[in-house]
Amino acid sequence: MFEISQLGNMGFGTPFFAVLMAWVFIWKGLALWKAARNGSKVWFIILLLINTIGILEIIYLFAVKPRWGLNLKAKE
């Protein structure tokens, strides 16, 4: 059976996980920041608790936020 600990033996584990962690932190940080600035508490909590390797964060930033961002801006 394959185990996670075997990834390091393949010369694949450490650099792969370092890049993956950087990828996740960048997208999660951007999405959480935008959700907080937008006042979207539900999206903020969802993005904070669910880890999807950046997929949900990218969907929020490029599909959901632009659509909802226009309705949430305060009128001057």
In angstroms, the CA 3 to CA 61 distance is 34
Are 25 and 50 within 8 A, CB to CB?
Answer: no
- The pLDDT score that the predictor gives to residue 4 is 61
Predicted TM-score (pTM) of this structure: 0.64
Compute the C-alpha angle 46/50/55, nearest 5°: 95
Q: What is the pLDDT of residues 12-58, one digit of tens each?
A: 567 778 888 888 999 999 999 999 998 989 989 999 898 888 888 88
pLDDT of 10 above 80? no
pLDDT band at 1 (very low <50, low <70, confident <90, very high): low
**Mean pLDDT, residues 57-72:** 71
- The pLDDT score that the predictor gives to residue 54 is 86
